[in-house]
Amino acid sequence: VGVAFLPRHGRGHRVSPSELNARANIDALKRFGVTDVLAVSSVGSLVEARPPGSFTVVDQFIDRTKGRPSSFFGTGLVAHVSMADPVCPRLSRYAADAARDAGAQVDDRGTYLAMEGPQFSTRAESRLYRQWGCDVIGMTAMPEAKLAREAELPYALVGMVTDYDCWREEEAGVDVAQVVAQLGANAAKARAMVMGLLRALPAEREPSPIDICLDSAIITAPSARDPALVAKLDAVAGRALRNAAG
C-alpha cells in the first residue's frame, strides 16, 4: 500500500490552525492519487474517562470554526454532500484496531468539537461543550473532514489526547508545554498505529460509497456550470463531472 504524508502545519509547525489551507491540502492529496485519508490530531479531552495518552476514533463533529473556506464548490457549481456520517466506518475500524495493537487506550467513537483557535478555550466554553455531549476538542479537523467528503475521499480521524482542556476547576488551564510533552509520549504509539493499519489493509482496496458521493450531490445543471470552476475542480470532482458531461 502506497502512502503519502502531509504535515498540516508544515515543517517546524509554522502554520496556525486558523491559517491552514485545507482546500489546498485535500486537492494536493487527490492529485497525488490518494484514495483514503487517515488524519491524526492532538485533542483535548472533555471526558474524565479519556485521559491524556488515550486515543479517540472520532465519528461525529460539531463545527465551531469561523470564516475558514469550507467548500470547493460555489457560485457556478453548487454541491451539497451529506455529512450525516462524516467518517468512513471501514477505515475507522482499521484505525481503532491498530491503535489498540500499538498499546493505546482507545475509544471507538467520539464527538469532536472543532474550535477556531488559536487560543485555547475559556472554562465556560469547555463546560458548555461538555454539556453538548462532546468528547474531545481540537482546531484542525474542520473543514478538513468536509473537504475530504467533497473530494470523495473516505476519511477517518484519530484524536490523540494531550490534556483535559480547562473544564476541571481544580486544575490550571491547558498550555503549550503540557501539549508538547504529551505529544512526545503519543508519537511512538501513533507511528505504530499507522504501521499496523498499513499491514492490516487488504492488498486490493475495498470500495466505499464515499467514492461516488458527488453523483448525488452536484445540483447545478451542466449547461449552467462555470467552466472555470469546473476546470479548477478537475482533481476533486473530475470523476463526477466527467460522468455528468458524458
Q: State the CATH class of domain 17-245.
A: alpha beta
Count of C-beta atoms within a 10 Å radius of residue 232: 14
Sign of CA dihedral 35, 38, 41, 47: positive
pTM of the model: 0.95
| pLDDT at 215 (0 to 100) | 97
For 183-197, how does the pLDDT look when each residue is reduced to its tens digit (9 = 90+)?
Answer: 888 999 999 999 999
Band of residue 246 on the pLDDT scale cut at 50, 70, 90: low
Q: State yes or no: pLDDT of 147 exceeds 60.
A: yes
- Quote the CA–CA distance of 30 and 45 in Å, as a whole number: 31
| pLDDT at 16 (0 to 100) | 96
- Quote the CA–CA distance of 142 and 28 in Å, as a whole number: 17
Q: State yes or no: pLDDT of 51 exceeds 80.
A: yes
Contact in structure between 58 and 159 (CB atoms under 8 Å): yes
- Quote the CA–CA distance of 99 and 102 in Å, as a whole number: 5
For 102-123, how does the pLDDT look when each residue is reduced to its tens digit (9 = 90+)?
Answer: 999 999 999 999 999 999 999 9
Catalytic center residues: 163, 165
C-alpha cell at 63: 463545527
Query: Which of the residue ranges 43-47, 170-174, 186-190 would you say has the lowest mean pLDDT?
Result: 170-174
Tally DSSP H helices, then E strands, for the chain.
7, 7
Q: Please report the DSSP string for 198-213 in residue order.
A: HHHS-SSPPP-GGGGG
Contact in structure between 136 and 115 (CB atoms under 8 Å): no
What is the strand order of the sheet 60-64 is part of? 60-64, 111-115, 136-138, 37-45, 155-163, 55-58, 106-107
Band of residue 150 on the pLDDT scale cut at 50, 70, 90: very high
